[in-house]
Amino acid sequence: MDTMDRIEQTLDSLRPYIGSHRGTVEVVDFDEDEGLLTLRLGGTCHGCSASTITLRQGIEVRLKQNVPEVKTVQAI
């Protein structure tokens, strides 16, 4: 399974929780050289003050555990 498949699989495991708050998450880009994953948070996540916590303590932690190639996660 390639890196993008593992990223999507990990995000799929988180999407039910994010969706329960009427939010969405999608991959915008992954820079393999830098290990930088760029995501777009949508729905109620967009502009929500708790989205930073969700991104750092939820999404980023899980991605780093499951996809070691991911070093940093940022949202646009």
Give CA–CA dist 40/24, Å, rounded.
Answer: 8
Residue ranges in 21-55 assigned as alpha helix (H): 51-53
pLDDT for 56 equals 84
pLDDT for 49 equals 75
pLDDT surpasses 80 at 15: yes
pLDDT for 45 equals 75
Structural domains for the chain: 3-66 (3.30.300.130)
Residue ranges in 1-76 assigned as alpha helix (H): 3-20, 51-53, 61-66
pLDDT digits (tens, 9 = 90+) for 35-76: 999 999 988 877 777 778 787 888 999 999 999 999 999 998
Give CA–CA dist 36/48, Å, rounded.
Answer: 22
Neighbours of 57 (CB within 10 A): 10
Give CA–CA dist 76/14, Å, rounded.
Answer: 18
